[in-house]
Structure 1
Amino acid sequence: MSATPIGRSAALSAVAALAIALFAVPSFADAPKAAPEVDLELVLAVDVSYSMDTEEQRVQRDGYVAALTSPPVLDAIRDGVTGRIALAYVEWAGSDEQRVLVPWTLIDGPETAAAFANRLAGEPLRRAYRTSISSALLYGAKMFEASGFKAMRRVIDVSGDGPNNQGPPIEAMRDELIDGGVVINGLPLMLKRPMLGVSDIGDLDVYYRDCVIGGPGAFVLPVRSVAQFPDAVRSKLVMEIAGPGSETPFPPGAPNALPAAAQPKADCLAGEGLWRDRFGN
């Protein structure tokens, strides 16, 4: 006995529904991939304000390019749990002056490290107005949200030659990031005598120690001469990659690291005060 029109229609509808259900099931190939695990997500936040002269900028850039492919840094990456890190390089100056020179990149050996260093070396030097360490930290923190990686440690490494003089107060921003699980390390550049009364301060290393850095194992590594810079950058990267508590032998020319102070002494609004006294805003 042949199926009635109603029965045939119902059967076709059932087959169509089954086909739609089958095609609606996502395949494993279409499933989102898990974020790659790395030992560290590290933002290198580098000052390019006008207080940085051409020599300082060139020394800074060349120091990072050389350090990233140095055996101590590559060994530190290799000796990690996963043997890889995620790295990004950002230049900053005033509140609205942040620029990613090299975006998040997986570094897992000499080839990827060299590719990162070569890309960095090929970028032109630039300068911009004002100094907002706090805005640079906020920008770096937001970068972690879209890194595409998964890491146990997130670190912002901020280098510069002057105090915060624009943007949110540095102490409040630092504390907010620390509460969010971010570690902040500092590389204060003290290569020339401060022009007190303009925008610089003496004892910039103390300012960085008391006002900028924070989190487990945070440290300041001051640089007081051009000759120190290559060793300082290399040592700093090794310390950050290896993590708190690791044994990191310093080369003879490297400066000594300063941990965060138990009793801060620096005026964390010194930069804003100097700028206001000179320019009235």
Structure 2
Amino acid sequence: MLRLVLILLLLPSLSQAACRQALSLGLDVSGSVDDQEYRLQLDGVIAALTAPPVQDILFLQPDAPIRIHVFEWSGPVDHTVIVPWTALRTPADLAQVTARLRTHTRAEQAPTTAIGSAILAGFSALEQHSDCWKRTLDLSGDGENNVGPLPESISDGLRPSDVIVNGLVIGAGDLGGDDERFMDVKRLSSYYSANVIRGPGAFVEVALGYEAYAAAMERKLLRELASIVLGSTNLPD
């Protein structure tokens, strides 16, 4: 509560911002994601966006809103926009976003996992939002790149200025137990940390499996969105 009060006190200083943050969420729909896991992923985004602590931040300053964009990715050219860029000024705006997520039908996608191509697709989407104070690309995934450009080969020269790339890695659902899932997600988290995320303060969030995706997405959003306001201050935690 104290942190939220401090955020509210800071809002007048942000009144000149056209947009607090442009946030693009890229969801893995490659062959390793079955229909149940796909639905858990979409429902997890809905649950995270509508969680009261997240909404408290989303609607803090309607005249400088957060803009959100959601797309799904798999192969090098398989990118489908689920939610086009939408400014979140009111709960009605958020309801439009969640309705699109709830009614979206999975597009036909390649079985491969082209993380590098997904990064480039996210950069292209974010490039048009240079008026935002912060621009963030979030990639969720449950496997390593296996086709197309390697994510580590994408130079900073191709990254729009100040864009941050974060990751949300998901433990494989077909493993025998939590110990195996933990080792799998630890390995994938290390891969994302070394090759995928980039920019100041970039981080990797983890979900032990798709059933834990909603909670992981909420943690990630709270960390990202709160930093929009607190990141430019010298306030202690």
Matched, 1:38 2:19: yes
The 3-state SS of whatever aligns with 1:240 is helix
The 3-state SS of whatever aligns with 1:234 is helix
Matched, 1:219 2:203: yes
**What residue identity is the alignment partner of 1:134?**
G
Distance across 2 between alignment mates of 1:201 and 1:116: 29
The 3-state SS of whatever aligns with 1:162 is coil
Q: How far does residue 246 in structure 1 lie from its aligned partner after superposition?
A: 4.5
| Change over 3 Å in CA distance of 1:66–1:201 after alignment to 2 | closer
TM-score (norm 1): 0.67
Structure 1 segment 80-229 matched on structure 2, within 5 A? 82-126=63-107, 127-147=109-129, 150-173=131-154, 175-178=156-159, 180-192=161-173, 203-229=187-213
**What residue identity is the alignment partner of 2:89?**
D
Q: How far does residue 80 in structure 1 lie from its aligned partner after superposition?
A: 5.6
Matched, 1:236 2:220: yes
| Change over 3 Å in CA distance of 1:105–1:190 after alignment to 2 | same
Aligned residues: 207
Distance across 2 between alignment mates of 1:134 and 1:179: 15
TM-score (norm 2): 0.78
| Change over 3 Å in CA distance of 1:227–1:123 after alignment to 2 | closer
Would you say the 8 A contact 2:136–2:163 is kept in 1? yes
**What residue identity is the alignment partner of 1:167?**
G
Distance across 1 between alignment mates of 2:102 and 2:120: 25
Q: How far does residue 178 in structure 1 lie from its aligned partner after superposition?
A: 4.9
**What residue identity is the alignment partner of 2:128?**
A
Structure 1 residues 250-270: Cα deviation after superposition (integer angstroms, max 9, x where no partner):
xxxxxxxxxxxxxxxxxxxxx
Unmatched segments (≥5 aa) in structure 2: 1-16, 176-183, 232-237
Paired position in structure 2 for 1:69: 50
| Change over 3 Å in CA distance of 1:134–1:96 after alignment to 2 | same
Would you say the 8 A contact 2:169–2:185 is kept in 1? no
Q: How far does residue 165 in structure 1 lie from its aligned partner after superposition?
A: 1.1
Distance across 1 between alignment mates of 2:85 and 2:216: 23
Would you say the 8 A contact 2:123–2:160 is kept in 1? no
Would you say the 8 A contact 2:169–2:206 is kept in 1? yes
Unmatched segments (≥5 aa) in structure 1: 1-35, 195-199, 248-281
Distance across 2 between alignment mates of 1:208 and 1:41: 22
Coordinate RMSD, CA, aligned:
2.6
Deviates more, 1:71-80 or 1:151-160: 71-80
Would you say the 8 A contact 1:137–1:174 is kept in 2? no
Q: How far does residue 177 in structure 1 lie from its aligned partner after superposition?
A: 4.8
Bigger radius of gyration among the two: 1
Q: How far does residue 189 in structure 1 lie from its aligned partner after superposition?
A: 0.9
Q: How far does residue 192 in structure 1 lie from its aligned partner after superposition?
A: 2.6
Distance across 2 between alignment mates of 1:163 and 1:244: 29
- Higher fraction of strand: 2
Identity, in percent, stands at: 36
Q: Does 1 or 2 have the higher relative contact order (CA < 8 Å, sep 6+)? A: 2
